[in-house]
Amino acid sequence: MPALSMITESLNALVPKLNGERNLFLMQQICSLARGERLQQQVDLALQQNGIDPARIPLTGNSFSLLVNGNIEQQQTVCAAWLATSLSEPVNSSTWYHERKEQETEIIATPQNTINWKFWETQELPRATMTEEERKASEYDKNKLISEAKVTMALSQATAKLYALIANNIPTSPVTEQEYQANVLMTVSNYAGEYLRTIQMLYHGRQPYGLSIHRVSATGFTVADEQGYELERVRNKTSLRYQDVDWLGNGKIMGKDYFVNLKVIADPVIAVQRVEPTEKVLPKVIEEELPKVVEKAPIEEASPKVIEKEPVINRKGKR
C-alpha cells in the first residue's frame, strides 16, 4: 500500500471526533495547550462560555479529556495529527474572498440580424450571471490569500518532514493495519513537539521571501516562492513541489516513493481451514474416513459391553 495514504489514514484516526466529525473549537483548544499558547484556566473559561463544565469532563475516554487531563504529550500528538491531516480537508475559500454586494453585468456585442447583419451594428446585452468561478476569481483579497498561503506552505514543508520520518520507520516485515497505526502513533508521539516547533520556525523564517500567485479560483490556489517551492491547494488536495520535484503529494514524500507491506489477511492458514469443502473433496472424505470410524466403534455393540463391566455397589459401599 502507498505509505502516503496509510500515514494520512493513521493520523486521521488519532484526531478526536464529535458525532463522527472533526470539531474546530475542540482542536483549537487542544493545540493552544500543546503549543503553550494558553493556560489551563483560559481553556476552562472557553469551555464554560460554550456551556461545558470542565469539572464534569472525565480525564480519559471522552473527546474533551485532553482539555483537562494535562497530558502535554498526548495534546501535542493529537494536535500534530490534526494539523497534518488538515491538508486533506476541503478548501475554505471564504477566508480570502470578499462578499459581493452588487451583481455586475458584462457588455457583449451581439448581431442584430443573424441572417443579414452588418458587423458594426451591434446591441448591448447584459450578461445574465457570472459563473461562481469567474465571480470569485475577480473578488479575492490578495493580502488574505498570501497570508493563508504562507501558513499552508510552512505546514506542508513541516508535514513532508514528518511523513518522511514516519515512512523511514516502516517495518520491513508484513504488518496488519492496526500494527502499522500503532507504529505511526509511536513515531508521531516522539516527534510531535518538534513538528509543532518546525511549523512555527518555517512560517517566521519565510517572512523575507515573497509569494507569487499563479492561479486563484473558487476551489483553491497555486503559489510559488523565491526558494523554488510551489504549492497547489485545490479542493481537498494539497501538493508541494520543490525544484520541480514532488515534495509532498502525488504519492511521493520528499521526492521518494514509500510503500507499506500490509497484511490483508491476518492468518492465511486459519482462513484456508475455514473454507467449506468443495463438491469434489466431500465425496472423497466420506469414502476414506467413514468406514474406519464404523469399524473402530460399532454403535450397536458398544452399550452392552460397558454395562457388563460396570461394578455394582450396595448401600454400605461394598461390592
3-state class of 110 per DSSP?
strand
Look at residue 139 in the predicted model and tell me its pLDDT: 74
Look at residue 116 in the predicted model and tell me its pLDDT: 40
Instruction: Report the predicted TM-score, pTM, of the whole model to 2 decimal places.
Output: 0.72
Cβ atoms of residues 240 and 226 within 8 Å: no
Look at residue 98 in the predicted model and tell me its pLDDT: 65
Shortest CA distance to 261 belongs to which of 136, 164, 174, 133? 174
Q: Hey, what's the cell of 4?
A: 502516503
Quick one: 120 exposed, middle or buried, by C-beta within 10 A (0-12, 13-18, 19+)? exposed
Look at residue 293 in the predicted model and tell me its pLDDT: 35
pLDDT less than 50: residues of the chain: 101-128, 278-313, 315, 319
How many Å apart are CA 101 and CA 147, to the nearest integer? 24
**Which residues fall within 8 angstroms of residue 295, CB to CB, at 6 or more apart?**
none
**Which residues fall within 8 angstroms of residue 76, CB to CB, at 6 or more apart?**
34, 189, 192, 193, 196
137: enclosing H helix or E strand: helix 132-137
How many Å apart are CA 216 and CA 33, to the nearest integer? 34
How many Å apart are CA 84 and CA 166, to the nearest integer? 12
Determine the distance from the C-alpha atom of residue 102 to the mean position of all C-alpha atoms in its chain, rounded to a whole number.
39
The one-letter amino acid at 279? E
Phi, psi angles (nearest 5°) of residue 94: -65, -15
Pairing of strands 220-225, 237-242: unpaired
Cβ atoms of residues 227 and 208 within 8 Å: no
Determine the distance from the C-alpha atom of residue 268 to the mean position of all C-alpha atoms in its chain, rounded to a whole number.
29
